[in-house]
Structure 1
Amino acid sequence: MPKTYMISYNLKSRNRKYFDMLRSIQNLNGTNIHLQDSLWLVKTNETPDTMYQKFHKILNDCDSLFICELVPNYQGLASPADWEFIEKYTFR
């Protein structure tokens, strides 16, 4: 059963690979939304470990990455389209 994850990263290295990271996230099996600059919500059957292994190939030691399962206990400020996606795709 797919779960929803928050993926956040900070690419600090000189050899920033934003497009590689973007493609890697978009290529996960599931639905996703680019919610903020370096923050994605992804609903997928993949585990944090398998996602980490894919992303780790892109990142350098000075970069950072955080992957966390998201539960339906949230609040914030976002566009109507973002809220619609969150309500429709992340927790159903």
Structure 2
Amino acid sequence: MHPREIEEVLTRHSAVRQVAVVGLPDDRLGEEVCAAVVVRDGFAAGPELAAELVALARERRSAYECPRRVEFLASFPLGGSGKVLKRELAVLLA
């Protein structure tokens, strides 16, 4: 799985301001794909939007690449250059 490819698909949704895809530990599969999403103003985060995002990913990517979990956050941990700190994000979501 290439997180950037999934992120590019999910950013096509009009509700997504920012997205980061990380792998999280899973007892059954070893690792599960999780999409962390910051929603644009005027859109509601919740199960309906999560389902839309998963469906969008499934239209364009293989099933094993698609997020099994979608988490909504107000912001992401960022480094000094403004890059998302995915390791910190994964710890936050685990």
If the length of structure 2 is used for normalisation, what is the TM-score?
0.40
Q: Which one has more relative contact order, counting CA pairs under 8 Å at least 6 apart?
A: 1
Larger Rg: 1
Q: Name the TM-score, length of structure 1 as normaliser.
A: 0.41
